[in-house]
Structure 1
Amino acid sequence: MAEGVGPVTDRSVDGSLTARLSALMFMQFFIWGAWQVTLGLVMQTVGIGNLIGNAFSMGPIASIVGSLLLGMVAVRYVAPRMLMVILHLVGGVLLYLLPTLLTPEKGGTFVWLLLGYMILYMPTVGLANTIALKSFGDRTDNFPFVRAFGTIGWIAAGLIIGWAGLSASPKIFWVAAVVSIALGVYSFTLPAVEADKPQGGSVLAQVFCVEAFGLMRQKSFLIFILCATLISVPLAMYYAYASPYVGAAGIENVSGTLAIGQMSELVFMFSMPWLYRRFGVKPLLLVGMAAWALRYALFAIGDGGSGLWAIYLGVALHGVCYDFFFVAGAIYVGTIATPKGVNAQAQGMLTLFTYGVGMLLGSQIGAMIYAQLPATPTIADWQGMWIYPAVAAAAIALLFQFTFRDDRRKETLA
């Protein structure tokens, strides 16, 4: 039997296993949170703000490319923990090199190397989940507790970067590099869960989620996927441009301020299963989309003076924005797909459309809007920019309200 793996009894889960997996999640998301939160501010500071949209397009592209490579080759032949070792060690080297390219002359090369790094990093998010879930066996109810340490790691990264005064410094990549190499070494000690075995059908059919696409024959599911993709467009603008906006408002600890969003995410995360059972999917998704519209409206009136409260409130809404839509959406997909035996494919398809297609479009559209701003935007310039995603999110929420029907919930209540 593989180390750390096997049928987990109903009596208890080994406390040391939980601690090991919690450390895994903490470092996994610390790496990402250390550089992603204030990358836009860093790029604007070094004079390559015009490339922010392209840089934030690399994550969505990597989500697609990395998943294809992992699904077609590596995950079937290499144990997940060894993939974690390889990807994080090599990724740590690339992270260390990235700051040397953060100049106006080398900005284009920086974006391409960032893509190379993200192709290595993005598959490790799924690998970390796989290792944790397989290690727990039937006791998957322990997973939310362990996954919460990922959010805590993201928060810790933001607070440390902000406390150290590195929010606008290229050194954020060196902080991430140290933890990436540490996680690569630590991954040698992770439970040796086995690689996935082919489940029948062609590899390409499974990688491209062919069976899951059949779920779109249900009108409600099709509308959900459409709206999930659309709402990811304005979402991308938050990830790319929130940090330079907060910096323009005169807030010095940009990274620490944006970490408030992840703190609120942590609060709502554990209540989501109960809220889903109590209210159903439509109210939660609608609240999530409306929260995005409200957040951007707050950013459109926020400034460094009397409107500072609007910025803090807009950041704090992240828990509602993210959990009420993306966490509730993942639960909804599971309820639709699990009875048909295609849950893994359906979740992959949701990720493809949201973090892939939606955020790629959002990064590029955001770049076009940002290009209309001055080289050094004032807070008034930023306020005008946030009107566009506010209107878009409100329109998507209205589209969802008038077209989506949760027939599954009606059948349950009947």
Structure 2
Amino acid sequence: MNPTIRVKLSFMMFLEFFIWGAWFVTLGTFLSKNLGASGPETGAVFSTQSWGAIIAPFIIGLIADRYFNAEKILGVLHILGAILMYQMYNAADISVFYPYVLSYMILYMPTLALVNSVSFNQMTDPEKEFSSIRIWGTLGWIAAGLLISFAFHWDSQEGVKDGLLRNTFLMASIASIVLGVFSFLLPKTPPKGKGEKITVSDILGLDALKLLKDKNFLIFFISSILICIPLAFYYQNANNFLTNVGMENPTGKMTIGQISEVLFLLALPIFFKKFGFKKTILVGMLAWAIRYVLFAYGNAGELSFMLIIGIALHGICYDFFFVSGQIYTNSKAGDKFKSAAQGLITLATYGIGMLIGFMVAGQITETYKINGVEDWKMIWIIPAGIAFVVFLIFALLFNDKTKTQTEL
């Protein structure tokens, strides 16, 4: 790949995830402490990610793949996103904040596919080249967290009290306008589906529903939706929890999870080859239960190591389940349904699963709040129990011993 193009793609990926990490990690704390949002209101705000994931395929399938260059749509979406993010920065009430965040996520979620499309279009061997570009996205997310905690101290006890977390939206807005303008300098990525007839079934990957006739794939599919319920608790509550229990620089320390994600992603092929798909994905499920038990019984004092270990388990939780699941789906789908199957799994997890998860997390958080104070022990024990039940269901019912699995 041309070195100039590599730098451009890396910078694009860095900003793409810097923007997301700049405000999403601390969102739960901001909603609770600065906007006085209830559990269900917080769940509704986080659910906008799921609505964005559900609507995104239509924007990509009906517009990007047929009429306009991907880099131009990327630029327009991020410029519009910068405006919405600035409105979120100015919002003083949850009723004002919600329409802006919903509109923003509907625009942002399609950009995750667009940056991949722009990248893949410049690669001759994506399997070898993409990871070196995509890792800059993780570095962008880490950089945002480190800035918030260690450079600006917006998530400190005093910063939260003084409303400084609001600045995360301003930082994301500035980064979004930079990426929006920069996108027009990216390599041209013309629409590949121009003139082709695209149906709703194509967009949502519904052709891959045929895979659900396979009992084991059906078990995996249902488990993927169910495991997203405990996952939602982490996204929605982790930063607020760490802030409430008095952990210093919580946002910066949460980047340990992204560092862990990179390391375990490198270890995944070795684990896969030695233990196979079922054991790998079971480890990922069990890790969710363990991390929440650590959160339930840890504290910011002498047991702070339990909280750090819980954060560090993110790599196993995410990579061993979601990345393994994507590889398994790819192996089961065959050439004809590869894209459709990945689209279906994405819709099931980030769309349906997370939507249910955020609603459940919001309601549980509100239920175990007494006089405005959360009972964090119960708030974490419940998703730990859900994750363990999913672990048992998958362990008992999934029994795929096909040749495809052993060769993954």
TM over 0.5: yes
Q: Are the structure 2 counterparts of residues 392 and 70 from structure 1 closer, same or farther at C-alpha, using a change threshold of 3 Å?
A: same
Please, what TM-score do these two structures have when normalized by structure 2?
Answer: 0.93
Distance in 2 (CA, whole Å) between partners of 1:24 and 1:222 is 37
Aligned residue in 2 for 1:391: 385
**Cα distance per residue 1:79-105 (max 9 Å; x no partner):** 10001110001101111110211x3xx
* 2:344 maps to amino acid: M
Residues 257 and 274 from structure 1, CA distance in 2 versus in 1: closer, same or farther, beyond 3 angstroms?
A: same
User: Which residue number in structure 2 is paired with residue 400 of structure 1?
Assistant: 394
Q: After superposition, where does 1:179-258 map in structure 2 within 5 Å?
A: 179-197=175-193, 202-258=198-254
Cα separation, 2, equivalents of 1:309 and 1:295: 12
Q: Secondary structure of 1:60's partner?
A: helix
In structure 1, distance between residues paired with 2:177 and 2:403: 46
Change (3 A) 1:341 1:274: farther
Structure 1 residues without counterparts, runs of 5 or longer: 1-12
Contact 1:79 1:194 in 2 (8 A): yes
Instruction: Choose which of 35, 47, 54 in structure 1 pairs with 2:23.
Output: 35
Stretch deviating more after TM superposition (340-349 or 171-180)? 340-349
Q: What is the CA–CA distance in structure 2 between the aligned matches of 1:16 and 1:317, rounded to whole Å?
A: 36
Q: How many percent identity over aligned positions?
A: 37
1:336 and 2:332 are equivalent in the alignment:
yes
Match of 2:124 in 1: 137
- Count residues in correspondence: 395
C-alpha RMSD of the superposition: 1.7
- Residues 133-170 of structure 1 deviation map (CA, whole Å, 9 limit, x = unaligned): 12103343110111111111101110111121123411
Comparing 206-215 and 67-76, the one that deviates more: 67-76
SS in 1 for 2:184: helix
Distance, in Å, in 1 between the alignment partners of 2:195 and 2:325 is: 25
Aligned match of 2:77: 87
Give 1:316 shift: 0.8
Q: Distance in 2 between matches of 1:218 and 1:399?
A: 16
Match of 1:359 among 333, 354, 357: 354
Does residue 371 (structure 1) correspond to residue 366 (structure 2)? The answer is yes
Q: Deviations over 1:358-409 (max 9, x none)?
A: 111011011111112135425xx11121110000000100100011122324
- Name the structure 1 match of 2:55: 65
Q: TM-score if structure 1 supplies the norm length?
A: 0.92
Distance 1:82 1:411, change over 3 A: closer
For residues 242 and 412 of structure 1, the distance between their equivalents in structure 2, rounded to whole angstroms, comes to: 36
Of 101, 105, 108 in structure 2, the residue corresponding to residue 121 of structure 1 is 108
Q: Mind listing any 5+ residue stretches in structure 2 that lack a counterpart?
A: none
CA distance in 2 between partners of 1:396 and 1:14 (Å):
46
The structure-2 alpha-carbon separation of the partners of 1:166 and 1:75, relative to structure 1 and needing over 3 Å to count, comes to: farther
Matched, 1:174 2:162: no
Is 1:275 matched up with 2:274? no
Change (3 A) 1:198 1:335: farther
TM-aligned CA distance change 1:368 to 1:185, over 3 Å: same
1:179 aligned partner, one-letter code: A
